[in-house]
Amino acid sequence: MNSEHDNAYASGGEPGVGERLRKARIAAGLSIDEVSARLKMPVRVVEAMESEDWKRLGAPVYVRGQLRSYSRLLGLVTSTTIAASGIAPIEPTPIVARSYTPRMARWFEQGKRRLVYIILTAALVVPAWLATKPHIMGRTDPATVQSLDAPLVGAPTVGATDAATPVVNEPTVVASMTPTLSPRPAAKSALVLRLTGDSWVQVQAPDGRTIEKGLLSAGTMRSYAAGEVGRVTLGNASAVVVQQGDRAQDLAPFQRANVARFTVSSDGSLAPVRD
């Protein structure tokens, strides 16, 4: 029992409260067992109230509730019975207001935090941006990069007389070990599916990941980049036109019972599935 409860019990009750309850029960023709059954409380609780043994009943807040229920059953005035018992009500814990911060002070703190964030961001972003812009720093490179195999413009021919050759100010040439790049080969053709009828389609990537799976309706077209597709399964294959670039592919070698299964190699060629 905490100190708050002890203080409530220490206030004491008006003698005779328990006796008043007992007499009212007897007058009503009720036994302790009948009161216990009607109030749905243990017999020991009823006996404790009639003997004014409040500490046996628990916390003061529970004692007040039990006295209220017993008084109502016997037709007594509940407020009088509770007041005569001397059980002090539990005072609520006082609420202490938090310190108030003026609105201007809150705005100042928010602005200060935002300013610090902006300064830190600028300190990281600006140097990186300047490093990627050499012309901003006034750095220019007059040298020209040229392959070692390329002849110099205006170079004197073998056997020519130095005195007869005029001196020409040629641009500085920096030798590069990088070979001259040949034109890139043409990009591989994309895989295109054109549906003339409804068809169930499953398209998988070379690593087995599913790119598309489901029933596609007639008139649908799907295009996949070169190297994106590794395996294709087509239901109702006769209603699907497969194109590699601008050329239609023959699905007969990959078709069984109107279901076509084929793989797409790295060079874009089609091959039957080997399960």
How confident is the model at residue 134, as a pLDDT? 61
Query: Nearest-CA neighbor of 213 among 204, 205, 221, 222?
Result: 204
- Provide the whole-model pTM: 0.33
Averaged confidence pLDDT in the chain: 75
How confident is the model at residue 12, as a pLDDT? 44
Domains and their CATH numbers in the chain: 3-85 (1.10.260.40), 191-272 (no CATH)
Q: Rounded to whole angstroms, how far apart are CA atoms 168 and 153?
A: 10
Q: Give mean pLDDT, residues 183-198.
A: 71
How confident is the model at residue 4, as a pLDDT? 43
Output the 3-class SS for 105-136.
HHHHHHHHHHHHHHHHHHHHHHHHHHHCCHHH
Q: Which residues contact 135 (CB under 8 A, 6 or more apart)?
A: none
- State pLDDT tens for residues 91-102: 666 665 566 678
Residue 215 has pLDDT above 70, yes or no: yes
Query: Nearest-CA neighbor of 202 among 164, 165, 230?
Result: 230
How confident is the model at residue 187, as a pLDDT? 47
How confident is the model at residue 73, as a pLDDT? 87
Q: Rounded to whole angstroms, how far apart are CA atoms 180 and 121?
A: 42
Q: Rounded to whole angstroms, how far apart are CA atoms 83 and 63?
A: 12
Residue pair 6/66 in contact by the 8 Å Cβ criterion: no
Q: Give mean pLDDT, residues 141-153.
A: 51
Q: What angle do CA 157, 162, 167 make, to 5 degrees?
A: 85
Residue pair 12/86 in contact by the 8 Å Cβ criterion: yes
Residue pair 191/268 in contact by the 8 Å Cβ criterion: yes
How confident is the model at residue 90, as a pLDDT? 62
Residue 203 has pLDDT above 90, yes or no: yes
Q: Rounded to whole angstroms, how far apart are CA atoms 240 and 222?
A: 11
Q: Which residues contact 75 (CB under 8 A, 6 or more apart)?
A: 24, 28
Q: Rounded to whole angstroms, how far apart are CA atoms 57 and 255?
A: 87
Q: Where are the beta strands (DSSP E) in the chain?
A: 144-147, 173-176, 191-195, 199-204, 210-216, 221-224, 231-235, 240-244, 247-248, 255-256, 259-264, 270-272
Stretch among 35-49, 82-96, 152-166, 200-214 having the lowest mean pLDDT: 152-166
Maximum pairwise Cα distance, the chain: 148
* Helix 78-85 and helix 60-74, axial crossing angle in degrees, nearest 10: 140
Q: Rounded to whole angstroms, how far apart are CA atoms 248 and 208?
A: 25
Tokens 């205006």 locate to 154
Beta bridge partners of 201: 214, 234
